Structure formats: structure tokens, C-alpha cells
Structure 1
Amino acid sequence: MTSHPTAFAPRTPVEPGPALDMSGPREHARAVVLLLPGGRATSVAPARRGLAHLRMVPFARAISWSTRGHEVAVWTLRYRVRGWNGDAQDPVRDARWALEEARRSHPGAPVVLVGHSMGGRVALRLAGEPGVVGVCALAPWIEAGEPAPRPGATIVIAHGDADRVTDPRSSAAYAARIGASFVPVPGETHTLLRRPVFWTRLVTAFVTTALQPAAHAR
């Protein structure tokens, strides 16, 4: 995602709160997977179930299937607004709220974050949060000077080399700087639609590995 001038429209007096689409146990799950959709650099328009949200649906279904029988809660976050919005970092605030909800509903459960584009940036920002054991960032939006997360979580960054929305070179350099794994995806664009089976397998394999033994304990 390329940078845009930081200009903000007035916010509405009462903004809707963030929301979660949930599958799996509602209480006392052994693990939680939180999916973080993309968005825009600047927008205070309410976030709805648009294309960015729908892009996460196949991943949510595949993760639910691959962890069936292991009491894993799979959540997709719906942000309050569509944009990152400069220093406001609106989606980071919303994702922190979701992590608090995970700790409240599923005390002690490890959390894996899976984010696309802006959601990938959010996931990387929260990699050092308590309880987060893994981050899978897909075509993330990486800016110059992006802070390195606190150590602890396993991190993989995957990026298509034909992406013209976010920069795969920035992802590769950031992964090298923080010691994360980087997976180049030949021929793939920002939409992740040219190699959907590859992406699904990458995400489900990462999630199940990051959650062992929690997701597979009997």
C-alpha cells in the first residue's frame, strides 16, 4: 500500500465499534486465530463487509477445517473505519480490542494473527503482544522505518512479486531486518487470486504449526 497524504475527514459523532465474525468455541478455546483484513491508508468511512473482508473468508473456512476437533476459535475482525489514518492507527486499536476479547473469552489461549495488506501491517505491529505466538503477513503494507516487533512470535511474510499495491521488496527487507521468514510468490498480485491454493495451504500450514501442541492436544 503506497503512502498518501495524511488528510482526515471529520469523524461522525458516534462511530460504530469494531466487530468480530466468529466460528468455533465461544468460550475456553485452546487457541484463537484472528484474521485482519486490508483497508486504506486514509479513510474514516465505516468499514463494512466489502472485498477486503471477503478476501479473508476462504482463509477462515480453511483454518476452521484444518483445525476441526481441536477447539480453535477463528475470528475475523471488522474495523470501525476503513483507514489506518496516520498516528490514529485505527485498525491497531481495533485489533488490540480483539486481543483483549480473546484473553477474556479464552484465558491463556495462544493467538495467531493472519493479516493481508493493511491487516498484515497491523499483525506485525502486534506480534509482541502477550499471548501472540505467530504472525502470518500476506502482502503487507510496510513503510520505511516500520518498527521491529518485540521478540517471541514466529513470523512469516509472504508477498507476490507482481504486486503493484504494496512493495514485495519492502517486505523482503523488513523480514531480513527482524529475522522473519520471507516467502516470495512468483507471478502473484496484491489480490492473492492467481494462486489461491498456494495461499490457503501456506496459511493453514503456518497456523497449525504455530499452534502446536495447543491446537492438536486431545
Structure 2
Amino acid sequence: MTGMHGTREGHAGPSALRIVSGGADADAAVLVLHGGRETGREPARPWHLAALRMRPFFAAVREAAPYERLLVGTVRYRCRGWNGSSADPLRDTERALAELADRVGDVPVVLLGHSMGGRAALRAAGDPRVRGVVALAPWCPEREPTVQLRDRTAVVLHGDRDRITDPRASIELMRRARTDGARTATLVVTGDGHAMLRRYGVWHRTAAAAVAEILAPGAATALVRNAVESGTPRMI
């Protein structure tokens, strides 16, 4: 896989959570995780393309959400790379989830991540507050764990022309996750690649519908609902 701060009391170091909208009275939360790089210790910045790419999803999620009081936030990475066993974005996501709990309490959370952020979201799903994950073109190396997805809903969208991360790896990861007790769906976006640009509206609408389905099963479009029920990869 290639190419991809204030301090809160009680947490050491820079905050890993940035609130985009919503407040302490939220009934549910969505954390957005942008992409990055396989390796890279340089700081991740909000003006990097990987972060900017995720901004349209904020409004899409808010519009489709089954909760009026929805908090939308992003995870601030300390550096741009995954960095091997350091798994830096995963650690940042875990810190952001802890900060979120301090802010809003025990509310259901959905993690929405792209590329490296999709990998971090899938790996962080074991947190008891996480109801499910929506992973967009996720980076899924061989032997990625799936047991943390048990009793969660995991929805993957992946372009069939992706040359950065492998859609076949996403399908295989979801197959294993379903065996491990997850509710899964794999939606293959035809004619699009890793950057999610050609059919951007499909990505935004479908990802938002998947978030809604995770927060309130049965609330989403038939496409997403049926995909989760069947677990069979579908072309869209």
C-alpha cells in the first residue's frame, strides 16, 4: 500500500480527536479516518490530500444519520505512516475513542475510514463503543485479524479499478470476518479507483447509508441492508 493539536485533561500528548460537528449531548458518533502511507514519520496535516478527500463525507453522514444529535469527528494522526508494528494510526484511533468517551459518554460509534484509515478502523473495532465500521478501499494485508469484528457490522466499499489497495483482499477479509461472527457487506464500485473521484456521489451516498444501517439496522437503503444480510459481494 502506497501513498496515502491541543491537549485534553486526562490524556497525555496532543489530542487525537477533532470535533467537526455535534456536542456533548450527542446520541451517537461517527469518527472519520483518512488515508496515509505504509511508512512515514512526518506529521499528518489537515490540508494533506488524504484528509481533504474525506470532507464531503461529513455532510453525507449527517444527512443520512438516524440520530438528530450526531457527533462527527476525525482522528488526528501524529504521523502519516502506519509504520509497521508501531501501527501509529491504530494507536491514535484508540486514543480518539477514549477522548470521545470522555466527551459524550457511552454512545454508539461508527468508524468510517479510507485506505490506511480503513485498516485502522477495522483494527479498532474491538472497542466496546464501536457498533461497526465502514471501510473505503481499505488496506488489507494478509493475515489481518478479524476476531475484533465479532458482533459488529463491517461494510466495505472498494473500486474495481483500484491499483493502490486490492479489492480482492477486501472481499477475503470480509469473508473471514463473517466466519468470525461479524455482519458484513462488500460493495464493489464499478469503474472507479482508489481516489473515489469518478463516481464520488456513489461513494458518499453509499457510505452514509452504511453508517445509518449500522446505527439503526433497517434504516438504510435496500442495497446496503440486503448486502449486509447476504454477505455476498455486490457490484454497484
Which residue number corresponds to residue 31 of structure 2? 34
Which residue number corresponds to residue 184 of structure 1? 188
Q: Identity over aligned residues, as a percent?
A: 47
1:58 counterpart letter in structure 2: P
1:35 Cα offset (Å):
0.3
Larger CA deviation: 144-153 vs 107-116: 144-153
1:54 Cα offset (Å):
0.5
CA 68–136 in structure 1, closer or farther in 2 if over 3 Å, else same = closer
CA 2–52 in structure 1, closer or farther in 2 if over 3 Å, else same = closer
Measured against aligned partners, the alpha-carbon deviations of 1:147-198 in whole angstroms (never above 9, x if no partner) come to 1132121001111110000011111111111112111111110000011110
Query: Structure 2 unaligned runs (5+)?
Result: 4-12, 179-183, 220-236
Whether the 8 Å contact between 1:137 and 1:157 is mirrored in structure 2 is yes
Q: How does 1:84-99 map to 2 (within 5 A)?
A: 84-99=82-97
In 2, the alpha carbon distance for the partners of 1:68 and 1:209 equals 9
Q: How does 1:144-159 map to 2 (within 5 A)?
A: 144-150=142-148, 151-159=150-158
Q: How does 1:8-157 map to 2 (within 5 A)?
A: 17-49=14-46, 50-67=48-65, 70-150=68-148, 151-157=150-156
Which residue number corresponds to residue 193 of structure 1? 197
In 1, the alpha carbon distance for the partners of 2:147 and 2:124 equals 7
Whether the 8 Å contact between 2:115 and 2:165 is mirrored in structure 1 is yes
TM-score by length of 1: 0.87
In 1, the alpha carbon distance for the partners of 2:202 and 2:176 equals 25
2:86 counterpart letter in structure 1: A
Whether the 8 Å contact between 2:43 and 2:80 is mirrored in structure 1 is yes
In 1, the alpha carbon distance for the partners of 2:161 and 2:66 equals 34
1:26 Cα offset (Å):
2.2
In 2, the alpha carbon distance for the partners of 1:144 and 1:201 equals 29
2:141 counterpart letter in structure 1: E
Alpha-carbon RMSD across the aligned residues, in angstroms, is 1.9
